[in-house]
Every structure is written in structure tokens, then in C-alpha cells.
Amino acid sequence: MSTVEEIVQAIRDLPPEQGDEVRRQLVSLWNSRKSDSQKLPMKRARPRRPPIKIKGKPISETVIEDRR
């Protein structure tokens, strides 16, 4: 049995009050890690390039015609 499975089994064997306390602490730990990851620098949005103008029919129409 792995360590994680042993921990989960030990938690299952706890009385309900202690199991609830473990859950509260795990949620608190999860939320603190989540907030730590949100502090990481965000990537800057790239400026959107203007669309390329094409001549003729759209590619999707050409593909549909080729399949017929």
C-alpha cells in the first residue's frame, strides 16, 4: 500500500469530528496554495494583428466545392 493510500485509510478510520477537522485543514491548505499560484506574474496579452486580406473565395467554400 502506498503512503497516500495509508493516509486516506487513516483519515477514513477517524471519528467524524476529527475527519471534519482534517477536511477543513486540507481545504485551507488547498486555498492557500491556490492563492500563492495566483501571485505569479501573468503573461502580457499580445497585440492583435490585423487580419490578412485575401482575394477570391474563402478557403472554406473552396474546400466544400472540392469535396463535391
> pTM of the prediction?
0.45
- Residue 56's nearest CA partner among 45, 46, 65, 43 is 65
pLDDT per position as a tens digit, 22-55: 999 988 888 887 665 566 566 777 888 898 888 8
All three cell numbers of 58: 474563402
All three cell numbers of 7: 493516509
CB 51 within 8 A of CB 43: no
Least confident of 3-12, 14-23, 36-45, 49-58: 36-45
Q: What is the DSSP string of 5-46?
A: HHHHHHHHTS-HHHHHHHHHHHHHHHHHHHHHHHTSPPPPPP
